[in-house]
Each structure stands twice: as structure tokens, then as C-alpha cells.
Structure 1
Amino acid sequence: MTESTVRARPLSFLEELREQRWDDHRYYHRSRVNQALHLFSACCFLAAYVLIPVNPIAAALLGWVIAMWSRQIGHFFFEPKGYDEINQATFAHKEEIKVGFNLQRKLVLLAAWSVIPALLWISPSLFGAIRPHVDWRGYLDHVGWSWLALGFVGLVGRTLYLCLTRNAQTGAVWFTKILTDPFHDIMLYHKAPLQLLRGEWLDPMDHVIHGRGER
């Protein structure tokens, strides 16, 4: 849910989940390059999900280095930033009403991500907070665990913020959306690479124009 509208009744959990997914798609995923990168990222995140109970360090490295960066490259460099004629909204307005991480909040998160390896390189004990690593394997373990912690803090922190500033359902819906985004992205964007090969750089969003979609 990203826009205040007058409703006859409150949305159910599943209705709000569909709405958050719909708004995310129509506002932030018009570029076919971005869609293709999201497809690749989603596959990497699913692999990371499988790795978490087996090798959490590898899961963190795969999730942050490959899956997260390929995902954000599409948003920062390929998604149109001008006035959105299809949705009749400026980019600034879309950023303002974004439920989750808009580009500004993503920059803060990615800055924290990039600082962690440097801090562990400067201070292997993280200024006395952890047992210092003694080799490259220990360094990568510390980086991986720190990135896992950052992901947990970012996800839970934003969820709690939404619970406090909006309502508990909106926070729970967003939390569910983020965790299930890889599955949903594969369903939505599995044709994006082929559409790119056909020379289609932007999704015409006919389903948006004609009021169709997942709502």
C-alpha cells in the first residue's frame, strides 16, 4: 500500500500484499534490463536461501555481492527517473510514498554494507567487539556474518518502523513481500531476457494502462 485512498473496508493481509507487489512493479520495474537483472538476482537469492542452513557465510556472500548488487544496478542505472506518464506520477512522488527502501534508503544500506569489510580490515577484532581473525578464511567469515547481521537489522528494523508509523499489518506484509520477492520476480520477469533480445527496452505496461494486473 503506497497511496492513501478511501476504502469501504480495510484491506486483508493478502489484498495488501498484492497491492504492495503491484505498486512495486508498476512504479519501479519498467526497464526490461532491470527486470532481467531482477530475474538473475532472484535466482541467486533462492540459491542463497538454500545455502543459509548449510553454509551461511557463502549465503551472505552470494546474497550481498551478486544478488543484491545485480538487483540494485537495475534500479539505479536503467530504470527511468523522469515523469511517469503511465502512472501519472513524478519520480520524487514515487520515492516519497515508497513503503520499503527507496533509492536514498538503499544508498544508506549499501554504504553500511561497503564499510563493514573496511572496518574488519582495519580492526580484525572490530575494536574489541569480536575475536580477531588470523587469516583470510577468518576475515571472510567475519565479513559474511556481519553482512548477515546487517541484512537482518535492515529487514527487521524497517518492518518495526512500518508497524509503528503505519500499522502492524503493513509491516508484516512488507516483511512477507521482501522474503518472497525472489519467487514473485521469477514469475513476473522470466520472459524479460527474451524481450530484451527482441529489442524491447521498456515494458509498455499495457496491463497498467488498461487497469489490469494482480490486484
Structure 2
Amino acid sequence: MTFFEELQKQRWDDHRYYHHNRINQFLHLLSAMSFLASYILVFYYPAAAALVGWLLAMVLRQTGHFFFEPKSYDEVNKATHQYKESVKVGYNLSRKVVLLSIWALVPVVLFFKPDFFGAFTPASTFTGFINNMAIIWLYVGLGAIAFRTIHLFKLMGVQSGLVWMSKIITDPFHDIKIYHKSPYYIMKGEMYDHMNDWYEEASFENQPVKS
């Protein structure tokens, strides 16, 4: 596949396997708008960008995955939850637990090591503590993207890694495009997306890109 064909494929697999629930889609819509705010803030106030990205955008996004997305057998794609987890190119739920645990441990470590092993001048105010914590969170997010991208270089090849990185960075724009109607479907009482329109529009075989 070309770069853009694989990008389309990874997006399709991510959508059809992990975004059936309309509330999950709506939370992704809110998350996407929050991430776009972070993208703007990072040029002016990186700490604020990290706070918006982690506390708002990521919490909304992962709430949708962990609490609303069904984990039962997927009749639409004829796949088990275990299979989906095994072929997930990016961060599956197990990897997300590890990442979120690291994120949650940052303020704890910073509280007991205010200089964060020499990385900061210890904060003398609560505002300073929050600023240092947010900067670490920013590096945790960037590091998570870099780590998985390099890992995919080894597992699937350089193109697949770069495709995934591009997908992650552009996901907020794509999520707004495909999930902007989610509030409408929720108000109609349609709580699950059966992917009919996507299957008709997909220009490739419905097989996952395996990791």
C-alpha cells in the first residue's frame, strides 16, 4: 500500500473496531476539539496545552473507550474483543492502562521529588508545581508517540510507523469530520453505529493492518 492508502486503512480499522458506541463517538468529538485547542496553546503556553490535552481531551477520549465501547463479540466485523486488541496498531486498551498509569504517577513522583531528578528548580508555589507537572505530562505524551512509532518501525516497517504517527497527530481533524453528527444520532436514539456507510465507501478489503 502507498502511505495514504495505509493511512486510510489504519483509520478505517480504528473506527470500525473501536468506535461503535455513539456516546464514545460524541466524546471523541469533544476530545478532538479540546486537542485542537491544545495544538494552538502549545505555541503560546505549553503547560496549558498539556493540561487541556491530558485532563480534558484524553480523559474524554479514554472514558469513551473504557466505559462505553462494547467489549462483547463484534457482529459487524465478526471479531472478538481479544482479536481486536491483538491487531491494534497503536495503543490498545492494555497499553493505554500502562500509559495512563505513568501519567497518573507523575504528580506523585513530583510531590516527593520536587526537582524531578534534577530536571526542574523545585517549585515554591502550587502554581509552579502545576506548571512543572504539566511540562512533564507534555513530554510523556510526546514520548508515547515517539516510542510507539519507533516500536512500529521494528514490528511493521518504517512506513507503517510514520503512518501511525501521522494518524495520531491528525486524528482530531478526522474525528471532527466523521463524528460531528454523533449528537444527532444520540438524540434519535441510535446508540450504535453499524458502519453501513463506511462499508459501502471503503475502497479496500475489510482486513486489519496487523502489528
Normalising by the smaller structure, the TM-score range is over 0.9
Q: CA deviation at 1:138?
A: 1.1
Residue in structure 2 matching 1:212, options 172, 184, 201? 201
Residues 167-202 of structure 1, C-alpha deviations (whole Å, 9 max, x = no match): 000000000000000000000000001110111111
State the superposition RMSD in angstroms. Answer: 1.2
The answer to whether the aligner puts 1:88 opposite 2:78 as a matched pair is: yes
SS in 2 for 1:193: helix
SS in 2 for 1:175: helix
Residue in structure 1 matching 2:160, options 170, 174, 191? 170
After the TM superposition, which residues 186-197 of structure 1 pair with which residues of structure 2 at under 5 Å, given as runs?
A: 186-197=176-187
The answer to whether the aligner puts 1:13 opposite 2:3 as a matched pair is: yes
* Alignment partner, residue 110 of structure 2: 120
Query: Which consecutive residues of structure 1, in runs of 5 or more, have no partner in the other structure?
Result: 1-10
Matched residues in 1 for 2:6 and 2:58: separation? 25
Q: Using the TM superposition, name which of 119-128 and 52-61 deviates more.
A: 119-128
Matched residues in 1 for 2:149 and 2:76: separation? 30
TM-score (norm 2): 0.93
Q: Once superposed, which parts of structure 1, at least 4 consecutive aligned residues long, lie more than 4 Å away? A: none
Q: CA deviation at 1:126?
A: 2.0
Matched residues in 2 for 1:213 and 1:136: separation? 51
* Alignment partner, residue 23 of structure 2: 33
Q: Does the 8 A contact of 1:46 with 1:182 survive in 2?
A: yes
Matched residues in 2 for 1:172 and 1:139: separation? 35
* Alignment partner, residue 147 of structure 1: 137
Q: How many correspondences in the alignment? A: 204
After the TM superposition, which residues 28-67 of structure 1 pair with which residues of structure 2 at under 5 Å, given as runs?
A: 28-67=18-57
SS in 2 for 1:18: helix
Matched residues in 1 for 2:163 and 2:130: separation? 33
Q: Using the TM superposition, name which of 154-163 and 195-204 deviates more.
A: 195-204
Matched residues in 1 for 2:117 and 2:174: separation? 41
Q: CA deviation at 1:214?
A: 6.2
Residues 117-148 of structure 1, C-alpha deviations (whole Å, 9 max, x = no match): 11111221224443211111210111111001
Q: CA deviation at 1:204?
A: 2.1
Change in CA separation of 1:140 and 1:170 when aligned onto 2, cut-off 3 Å: same
Q: CA deviation at 1:212?
A: 3.1
Q: Does the 8 A contact of 1:32 with 1:196 survive in 2?
A: yes
Query: Which consecutive residues of structure 2, in runs of 5 or more, have no partner in the other structure?
Result: 205-211
Matched residues in 1 for 2:107 and 2:203: separation? 40
Counterpart AA for 2:20? R
Matched residues in 1 for 2:66 and 2:185: separation? 21
Q: Does the 8 A contact of 1:113 with 1:150 survive in 2?
A: yes
* Alignment partner, residue 93 of structure 2: 103
Residue in structure 1 matching 2:150, options 156, 160, 173? 160
SS in 1 for 2:79: coil
